[in-house]
Amino acid sequence: MVLSRSVVAAACVAAAGVLSAPGLAGAQPAPPPPPPVPNVNAYAPANPQNFVVHQGAAYAFTTAGLTCMVQRSGPYGCSGVLPGAPNGANLVSGRAGVPPGFGSAGQPIVAEPVNELPPNTRISFGTVSCGGDGVVTACLDSGNQAGFVVTPEATWVNAVNPLLARPEGTNPYFN
């Protein structure tokens, strides 16, 4: 009886050692989701007439080294240097109701000259608003809460609607 207890105890100690070994104790947690898109709609609206392009079919502006456009038909996006964008992308764009993504273009999103958007202002059409503070640029589709953010350090797309997809036990209305 003493021998079998010793064998069981040794087996338990060995199992505990294996389970506590690095990498075997459990899977690594998933990386946190990207930060939410800033509330672009908190910025003051700019006069859209100062940013009309394509014979009134779109509004375009420059800000923080980017050229951005909001089309009246739904597409929106920015082109330029996108720090940290995948595969060297120089374009991030979406469409009202559709989450944005990255791409590459051989030319700027708008070929004609456009005005600079003053800091802390935005251009909006329908559910899409784009603007920034002069350093950070963001676009947000308030219809699905998807959008993108371009900062001097990073660029990311947020395609998760916090009202629909959120961690278990959280409430989007209370912190």
* Predicted confidence (pLDDT) per residue in 130-173, tens digit: 999 999 999 999 988 899 999 999 999 988 655 555 556 666 56
Token digits for 153?
Answer: 């350090």
DSSP state of 116: B
Is the sign of the CA dihedral 96, 44, 40, 106 positive or negative?
A: positive
Distance CA 41, CA 129 (A): 7
Work out the angle at residue 47's Cα, subtended by the Cα atoms of residues 45 and 50, and round it to the nearest 5 degrees: 140
pTM of the complete model:
0.74
Token digits for 129?
Answer: 């608003």
Question: How are beta strands 155-158 and 146-150 bridged, if at all?
Answer: antiparallel
Token digits for 73?
Answer: 């038909």
* Predicted confidence (pLDDT) per residue in 35-94, tens digit: 777 889 999 999 999 999 999 999 999 999 999 999 999 999 999 999 999 999 999 999
